[in-house]
């Protein structure tokens, strides 16, 4: 009887531990949702671009046939892809086709190669890949494997790791950071300076923060922005647009 009781207690204890781990994982993996303003982009209609949705991405396609480039954006870690709709919209209005990749569990770690079908389809056109925070880390890893099919890599509040080093590639890169960003690890960013490509540019958006590269509200641990999300987004679009136009090679 005592052995049976002990086994039951053990099973209950194990079940409670597993339940605690599952609940903890659910809480930890709960993503930042897009703002209402970002979600409204999908409800409105525009004569200047159209939005298409598939299982793996959202596409913002300019209706004007003179498309400058294709941009592939990997979202930040635990950030819903819809959070980048306002950024994609502005880029589309500047004649760039934009893909926002939907990542498994909202983590680019599980979807590094999601851009492959897009790159294969548009390989005869200029293609730029990048992302926000964690997303850019894995976009860079993808880029070194598809260097010949790409035209550049962009980093929004991020930097490459050793597995995504661009130093030996011919790909130009651009880094946009924000002065009030308290999420990015400044020490690691400095140490990663030699992992960017030789043809590299870095711009700091004064007054901006980490979260305002997307549209998902305040992020835990981030600094308080001194400018509006709209102003930071406008600077981001302008800098990316100019950099892309300077690096069109196809």
Phi and psi (nearest 5°) for 172? -70, 155
For residues 39 and 13, membership in a common domain is answered with no
Q: Name the average pLDDT for the chain.
A: 91
Whether residue 239 is predicted with pLDDT greater than 60 in this model: the reply is: yes
In the beta sheet, which residues pair with residue 74?
A: 131
Whole-angstrom Cα distance, residue 220 to residue 183?
Answer: 8
DSSP, residue by residue, 30-43: PPBPPPHHHHHTTT
Residue 7: give the domain boundaries.
1-30
For residues 80 and 55, membership in a common domain is answered with yes
Residue with tokens 């099919």: 149
The pTM is what? 0.90
Domains in the chain, number: 2
Whether residue 3 is predicted with pLDDT greater than 90 in this model: the reply is: no
For residues 1 and 38, membership in a common domain is answered with no
Whole-angstrom Cα distance, residue 79 to residue 215?
Answer: 9
Region 219-229: what's the mean pLDDT? 97
For residues 16 and 42, membership in a common domain is answered with no
Amino acid 30: pLDDT: 81
For residues 18 and 45, membership in a common domain is answered with no
Region 164-168: what's the mean pLDDT? 97
pLDDT tens track for 28-57: 468 999 999 999 999 999 999 999 999 999
pLDDT tens track for 117-133: 999 999 999 999 999 99
For residues 191 and 238, membership in a common domain is answered with yes
pLDDT tens track for 64-99: 889 999 999 999 999 999 999 999 999 999 999 999
pLDDT band at 27 (very low <50, low <70, confident <90, very high): very low
Whether residue 12 is predicted with pLDDT greater than 80 in this model: the reply is: no
């Amino acid at each position: 009887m005592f052995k049976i009781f002990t086994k039951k207690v053990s099973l209950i204890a194990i079940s409670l531990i597993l339940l605690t781990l599952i609940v903890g994982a659910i809480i930890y993996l709960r993503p930042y949702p897009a703002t209402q303003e970002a979600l409204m982009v999908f409800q409105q209609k525009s004569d200047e671009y159209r939005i298409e949705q598939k299982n793996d991405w959202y596409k913002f396609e300019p209706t004007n046939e003179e498309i400058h480039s294709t941009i592939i954006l990997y979202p930040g870690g635990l950030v819903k892809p819809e959070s980048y709709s306002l950024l994609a919209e502005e880029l589309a209005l500047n004649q760039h086709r934009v893909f926002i990749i939907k990542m498994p569990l909202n983590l680019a770690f599980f979807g590094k190669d999601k851009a492959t079908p897009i790159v294969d389809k548009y390989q005869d056109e200029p293609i730029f890949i990048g992302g926000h925070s964690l997303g850019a880390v894995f976009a860079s890893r993808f880029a070194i494997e598809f260097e010949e099919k790409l035209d550049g890599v962009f980093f929004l509040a991020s930097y490459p790791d050793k597995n995504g080093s661009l130093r030996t590639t011919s790909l130009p890169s651009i880094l946009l950071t924000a002065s009030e960003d308290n999420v990015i690890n400044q020490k690691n960013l400095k140490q990663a300076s030699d992992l960017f490509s030789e043809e590299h540019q870095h711009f700091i958006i004064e007054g901006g923060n980490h979260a305002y590269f997307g549209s998902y509200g305040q992020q835990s641990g981030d600094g308080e922005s001194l400018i509006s999300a709209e102003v930071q987004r406008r600077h981001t679009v302008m800098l990316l647009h100019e950099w892309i136009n300077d690096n069109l090679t196809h």
